[in-house]
Amino acid sequence: MPSNPMQRKVRNSFFLGFLVMLIVAILIGAIVFLAVIKPMMDEEKTQEGQITAYAYRLRAGVSVESGSEITSSMVESVEVTVPSQTTDFILSKTQGANGVLTDLPFEGGKSKIALGEGTILTYSMLMEEDELSDSTRYVEYNMITIPTTLDVGSYVDIRLRLPNAQDLIVIAKKEIESLYDQTIGVNLSEEEILLLNSAIVEAYAIPGSELYLARYVEAGNQETATYTYSPTEEVVTLIRANPNIVEEARNEIATRYASSGPVRNPINNALNQNAEDRNSNVEAGMLEQIEAARKAREDYLSELNGY
Q: Are residues 215 and 277 in the same domain?
A: yes
**Mean pLDDT of all residues in 80-84:** 72
| pLDDT band at residue 305 under the 50/70/90 scheme | confident
Structural domain span for residue 275: 137-305
Give a yes or no: residue 158 inside a domain: yes
Residue 11 lies in a domain: no
pLDDT band, very low/low/confident/very high, at 157 (cuts 50, 70, 90): very high
HSE of 119 in the Cβ direction (CA atoms, 13 Å)? Answer: 19
> Are 116 and 228 part of one and the same domain?
no
> What CATH number should be reported for the domain holding residue 83?
3.90.1210
**What values do phi and psi take at 228, rounded to 5?**
-120, -10
Environment class of 256 (CB within 10 Å of its CB; exposed 0-12, middle 13-18, buried 19+): middle
The pLDDT value given to residue 187: 92
Distance separating the N- and C-terminal Cα atoms of the chain:
129
Same domain? 156 vs 299: yes
pLDDT of 134 > 80? The answer is no
Answer yes or no: do 217 and 256 share one domain: yes
3-state DSSP assignment of residue 173 = strand
Q: Are 94 and 54 in contact (CB under 8 A)?
A: yes
- Residue 42 belongs to some domain of the structure: no
Is residue 5 one of the residues assigned to a domain? no
Q: What domain count does the chain have?
A: 2
Beta strands in the chain (DSSP E): 50-58, 75-83, 91-92, 137-141, 155-161, 167-175, 178-180, 183-188, 210-215
251/119 same-domain check: no
Co-location of 70 and 149 in the same domain: no
Question: Residue 259 above 60 pLDDT?
Answer: yes
Round the CA-based radius of gyration of the chain to a whole number and report it: 35
Cα within 13 Å of Cα(45), Cβ side: 6
Domain identity same for 148 and 267:
yes
Residues 141 and 120 in one domain: no
Whether 281 and 197 map to the same domain: the answer is yes
Q: Specify whether 149 is located in the same domain as 271.
A: yes
Residue 167: inside a domain, yes or no? yes
Range scoring the smallest mean pLDDT among 92-101, 245-254, 292-301: 92-101
Q: Same structural domain for residues 115 and 141?
A: no
Burial status of residue 71 (CB atoms within 10 A of its CB: 0-12, 13-18, 19 or more): middle
Q: Can you count the helices (H) and strands (E) in the chain?
A: 7, 9
pLDDT per residue as tens digits for the range 279-301: 777 777 777 777 777 777 777 77
189 and 272 share one domain: yes
Select from 125, 156, 175 the last residue of a domain: 125
Pick from 39-48, 64-73, 221-230 the range whose average pLDDT is largest.
221-230
Q: Closest by alpha carbon to 162, among 12, 259, 274, 302?
A: 274
285 vs 23: CA distance, rounded Å: 98
Kindly report, residue by residue over 167-215, the tens digit of the pLDDT: 999 999 999 999 988 889 999 999 899 999 999 988 888 888 899 999 9
219-229 pLDDT tens trace: 877 888 988 89
pTM over 0.85: no
